Amino acid sequence: MFHDSIRPRRLRTSDGLRRMVRETRLSPESLIWPIFVAEGQGIYEEIPSLPGQYHYSPDQLYRMVERARAHGVSRVILFGLPKEKDEIGSGAWAEDGIVQQGIRKIKELAPEMYVITDVCMCEYTSHGHCGILCGCDVDNDQTIVRLAQIAVSHAAAGADMVAPSDMMDGRVAAIRGALDQNGFTGVPIMSYAAKYASSFYGPFRDAAGSAPSFGDRRSYQMDWHNSREAIRECALDVQEGADIMMIKPAMSYLDLVYQCKQRFELPVAAYAVSGEYAMIKAAAKAGLIDEYGVMCESAVSIFRAGADILITYYACELADAIRKGDIG
């Protein structure tokens, strides 16, 4: 038996009513679209492992800008694909590096677009690791010096925000200090605060050419068995001056999104990574799921867990869904 006067279904009786009482609301302004900028000219190539996503040379970025504007997406995060790599990843902080070129081109084409840059070295090192090697290990303290140099070079090129993804200890403090010392006190840091050594990164590593040539990244990216350690990492980044904390990946780590939202006062971002996107695409192509429905449902779950910001390859499609009211 149930109490006749208590009927939760009353608030589900019409589409208009369901929209009015929704607990989780999304906005296109909360979406960030990852963009891959490739060194060269005339490059506009679909990424096989990420259907619907492209490599753009700087002269082709107008295509990305047109697509973003058409869907109402105004925030991007840039990843660079250089032609040349070396042991220390020197192309990452070069004044004419590929990300620096990309920033300047986007700002020329679309001054209103908010440009965030990934600060890491894995796309630029010949060995594919996220820093300077000492033997077969990444030297933490040498690496953070270079990461700070990369962040300053991005800010000098016009980046609105920098996002260190390397998971070195102390890198947020080093970057904050370098930005401030070089007159970029207004450039915020979105820290990959809890970045796990995940199996969901495969398509990205293919797209960015950033797979390590030996070993793995488990000595610096987090063990996916641990959650208390992630809270500690986030707390350290808060102390060091991060402005936004990010959890990566999103789907399998919603418990961390929730915990960070409850514990810290900073905005929380989540990255729906390449493997999450590719799985939805592959299952939809096989006729196993409704791509649009799963895209919407998975995005809402991330915001429902507490995310304020979502980095997603579905940014354009989700912005359309929000405007249509399907998930807004």
**Which of 85, 195, 261, 281 is an active site residue?**
195
Rg value, the chain, Cα:
20
Look up 195 and say whether it is catalytic: yes
Buried b (16+ CB within 10 A) or exposed e, 130-145: bbbbeeeebebeebbe
**Which of 248, 261, 281, 285 is an active site residue?**
248
Buried b (16+ CB within 10 A) or exposed e, 57-85: bbebbbebbeebeebbbbbbbbbbbbeeb
For the chain, what is the total number of helices (H) and then of strands (E)?
Answer: 11, 12
Look up 107 and say whether it is catalytic: no
Cβ count within 10 A of residue 243: 17
- The first and second tokens of residue 145, run together, are 């010096």
HEC-encoded secondary structure of 69-100: HHHCCCEEEEEEECCCCECCCHHHCCCCCHHH
Catalytically active residues are: 195, 248
